[in-house]
Amino acid sequence: MSLIFEKVGKRYPDGTIALTDISFEVPRGQFCVVLGRSGAGKSTLLKCVNGLAVPSEGRVSVDGVSVTPRTLAKLRPQVGMIHQSFNLVPRASVATNVIAGALPAVSTPRAILGLFPKALREKACALIAEVGLDEEHLTRRAAALSGGQQQRVGVARAFMLDPPYVLADEPVASLDPQTSIDILALLEREAKERGAAVLCSLHQIDLAMRFADRIVALRDGRLVFDGPPDALADGRIRHIYGSPRLETSISRQAVGA
């Protein structure tokens, strides 16, 4: 029962190589943080799990089922996702945004008429309460919430179907430090309660050290670290993020080539 990356490589149609030979396994219940500087391939890695990006080499499997176009419809509801820019529908209410997380579980005609079963409506209310919002927020438009509150809605939406795996792509990148801690704590709590694994990309090392059971680090699309937070010594961190001088010379070469 785990999420497995096997020799995953990803080359975008324009030739950008985003991932190279990535292999690791995330067991259920683990809070796994993906570190790496901008462009390292964190988002691409997460997207390979739910088919928003298709690996050009290797494979990803969820609980033993490979992610392919044919299995995607069945797998996607088992993988929740939380986004950096929240990706809520701004003009829709909090209630609608949260219950939209259960769309795969409702037939299309019912969904179009907005007829969600009572169990799902109750679940949405329960989740909205769990993430720290109130009944008054139910009818509030998502656009009228603060960033922190919006991401709370994002967390609630991601857990509507009790997925065993949750992807979080820089979920706190646009939030202040204290709110970031609150949101990650919330994410950790909701996941632990359900025994769900979290694959969360971050760019704040301190937050990674604080919340991760395990850290994997990417650099230029390659896995350069995989281990518990304690093993992440200073030298390692420099290796992951690279020195500015080195980066400049790399980009010069790329331009010259």
Partner 1 sequence: MNGATNIVRRGTPDKWRFPTPFGWRTVLVAIVAMAILLRTGADVDIGRAIVQSGEGVAAGAGLVEDSQVARGFGAILGQMFPPQLAEVTETARIADFDPDRLPLFAHVETQVVTVQSLDPETMRMVARTTQREVLVEPLGYVVQVAAKLIETLEIALWGTLLAVLMGAPLAFFGARNLSPHWLLVTLSRAVVSLLRAVPELISALFFVLAYGFGPAAGVLALALHAAGFLGKFYAEDIENADRGPQEALRAIGANRLKLLRYAILPQVLPQYVAYTLYILDRNVRMATVIGLVGAGGIGLELKGRYDLYQYAHVGTILIAIYLLVLALDQLSSWFRRRWI
Ligand X SMILES: Nc1ncnc2c1ncn2[C@@H]1O[C@H](COP(=O)(O)OP(=O)(O)OP(=O)(O)O)[C@@H](O)[C@H]1O
Taking each helix axis from N to C terminus, what angle separates 177-194 and 147-158, rounded to the nearest 10 degrees? Answer: 10
Give yes or no for residue 44 binding Mg ion (CB under 5 A).
no
Identify which of residues 46 and 186 has a Cβ nearer to Mg ion in the complex.
Answer: 46
Q: Distances from the Cα of 245 to the Cαs of 184, 241, 252, in angstroms?
A: 33, 12, 11
Sheet holding 197-201, edge to edge: 79-82, 165-169, 197-201, 31-35, 214-219, 222-227
Alpha-carbon distance of 94 to 57, in angstroms, equals: 39
Least separation in angstroms between residue 226's CB and Mg ion is 19
Query: Cβ 217 to Mg ion, closest distance in Å?
Result: 14
- Closest approach of partner 1 to the CB of residue 154, in Å: 8
Beta bridge partners of 141: 93
x/- contact string, 110-129, with partner 1 (CB under 8 A)? Answer: -xx-----------------
Under 8 Å between Cβ of 142 and 94: yes
Tokens found for residue 89: 């529908």
Site residues for ligand X, 15-34, by CB under 6 A, read 16, 18
Whole-angstrom distance, CA of residue 186 vs CA of residue 180: 10
Min CB(198)–Mg ion separation in Å:
16
Told to check if 92 binds partner 1 by CB under 8 A, we report yes
| Residue from 43, 78, 96, 97 binding Mg ion (CB under 5 A) | 43
Nearer to ligand X among residue 17 and residue 125 (C-beta): 17
Q: Which two tokens stand for residue 20?
A: 């190279």
Query: What is each CA distance from 120 to 14, 27, 67, 96, 211, in whole angstroms?
Result: 42, 28, 27, 11, 30
CB 183 within 8 A of CB 152: yes
Q: Which of the listed partners (ligand X, partner 1, Mg ion, none) does 161 bind, with a CB threshold of 5 to 8 Å by partner kind?
A: partner 1
| Binder of partner 1 out of 65, 89, 115, 126 (CB under 8 A) | 89
Interacting residue with partner 1 among 17, 72, 209, 224 (CB under 8 A): 72
CB of residue 64 to ligand X, shortest distance in Å: 26
- List of residues contacting ligand X (CB under 6 A): 12, 14, 16, 18, 36, 38-44
- List of residues contacting Mg ion (CB under 5 A): 43
- List of residues contacting partner 1 (CB under 8 A): 50, 52, 72-73, 75-77, 79-81, 83, 85-92, 96, 100-101, 103-104, 108, 111-112, 157, 161, 167, 247-248, 251, 254
